[in-house]
Structure 1
Amino acid sequence: MKLPAPPTFSSPLHHPRVATVIGRWLGTTVVVCFLTGLYSHFLQDTPSWLPVPSRPANLYRVTQGVHVISGTVAVPLLLAKLWTVYPKLFAKPDLNLAKLIERLSILVLVSSMALELFIGFVNTLQWYPWPFPFRQTHYALAWIIVGALLVHLAVKLPLIRANWRRTPERRPESLPAETTGLTRRGLFRTVAGAATLVGITTAGQSATPLGSVAVLAPRKPNIGPQGLPVNRTAEAAGVTGIGADWRFTVVGPRQLSYSLDELRNLTQSRSALPIACVEGWSQGARWEGVRVRDLLELCGAPARSRVRVVSMEKGGFYGTSELPEEFAADPLTLLALRLNGVELALDHGFPARIIAPNRPGVLQTKWVHRLEVVA
């Protein structure tokens, strides 16, 4: 491959000041995406030492929406950042340790970030053309990116500090335009506009007012049975319905068993809670059913007990889930029997499902037939 001639790299758009500004935007986006992703990961795989609150009820809806939006916005920012520094990739590397560390950190950072953004986007489409587990790989890559980013920042710190502030000689109007007529200010506006446009056209899957312009969002939140999207259908879960002999069981100090009609005759409560999925979409809904804490009281379990939720789903990673004590005791947590005023559709978990505040959709277990009090 013939390398570009050095004169083509003389554009002021490839100046370190430009790379620093766009790098700040990208870095901020990466930090937001990392922190919200970390929160999502710990909600699904909570360490014993980490207490997770059940309130605010909509917290996960906000954080996961921001996570997916920030990850999507990072794509145009990463491309712009790479474009500002690509001339340096053709430069002959100096044979010293600092330069070798810098090149290695860039290689790890760019490759891991590109892979992270790709598999994250493909996950929003629920397409998994790889043999490795998505969530664990996504989590590991996030830490690799953070490590490589810290090394890169440490190596580049003197250059970043020198170009952090705008000085008179670095003002856009004091520098010649690119041969295309694009100035630095024009480049910044173009990149910021592209990132904003990508964010707005993605946000509609979690921000309802933007739903009509959510052309990049794979889901429209209000489309699906009973006005709520479905990720995993009953057919995919191997659930075809229930027989006349179906019973719901609570395993605790006293074992309880109910038919569906008997569940309906227990004291019913209402909760207005969203389904918020890891793919970034969310939709609020009105739920009716029996409070989990009332079932714990009926079976003689302590007020703050952990509960294992068992589904009729056959196979899959989420046939069981666990409600930590904060969630099981929350009055908004229901064994839901009705959605938006009518009986649950089979795809939404008929005859009963869990709905709890501040929980990922994958943990709002459907087709529930047993609760087990965990000692």
Structure 2
Amino acid sequence: MKKILKFKVLLLAVISLGFFLNSCEDDTSVFTVTETQAITLADLPFTMIELDASNPGNPAITFNWNEADFGQQASENYRVIVSSDDAFTNPIIATSVVGTTSATLSVNELNSAAGLAGLPPFTFNTLYVKVESSIGTQNGLPVSSNTINFEVQPFFNYVFEDFYLVGNGTSADWNNNNNNPPLFRDAENGNLYSYTGFFTKGGGGFDDGRFKILELRGQWQPQWGTATAEGSDDIEASGDIAGNPGTQADDPGRFGVASDGYYTFTINFSSNTYTMNTFNDAGAATFTSMTLQGSGVGSDTAFTQSSFDTHLWFINSVNLQPGDLQVMTNAGSSWAGSTSFSGVATEGGGSIPVVVQDDYEVWFNDLTGDYIMIPLNL
């Protein structure tokens, strides 16, 4: 009986050991992908296309290519990339698709992509196109196709963003639709804005002399301010910016000034930083009138002088057409820059170009020569 019992115990131990060893085997599946061969973007059946602004939602162009092969049964990602040069110095993603080998752009989408790539409106220029294939949520193993090109004539595409002051340190007070002055956009860096002018401390309290930045008059969001929460937002000469909804869901803190005076406020949307520095206006020329003149305006149009800041001038609406502009002062001096939509004018400068007809809001700062022309309908 003892021998039989020992045999049964030994057999049970062997079976248990086998089960344990089997359960410890690594049965992990290995998911392997390989880099695909470059896909081929098909040639287009035309060489030129003129975009029609009256039908922006109509299909404009369809791109076709063969399927990428990453060695796995998984949906591939494709990005249609355009540029104004074949080196793709400034690549613009026109559209992205998953699991399909074609993409159609509407008139508006193609026009927007061409404008962002830097093609000027109303003239035919070459647009270069390629398709980048990748796999996974992180767009792994990207491979670019061949490049094709065609001539395209975009209609006008206003690609800039405009920003406006609001707050009790400014002429608008806390009214989001009170002829709020715009910031002046740098002509070379579309993410850099500044405003030189008068700010007031008002009653002198902690909540006085404050302001924020709005993207649209008449709407409180999107709005930009300091990264410090309101109530704890001490007045600082520089710091980080925050935005609702640009960086967060709640409203940002407030910029501010410690006393009445002239300041230069600068905000950089690339680095999300700001500076606020005093500006010495001593000795600045005083003008009593300003007039917008030139072939770009039908007839000489007078600016309105701000009652809050006598160095700030504006025209709420004036129809401009392709041509040149100058700002003429009551002293007989002519001021102009060389860049459309925004820039810095100098006395005796060339002429401000108007590239597309529309009704414009025009602002001019005689302290700095900053000007901005905001189309109202484009």
**Shared fold, TM over 0.5:** no
Larger radius of gyration: 2
| TM band (smaller chain) | under 0.3
Richer in strand (by share): 2
**Greater helix percent: which structure?**
1
- TM-score norm. by structure 2 comes to 0.25
Higher relative contact order (CA 8 A, sep 6+): 1
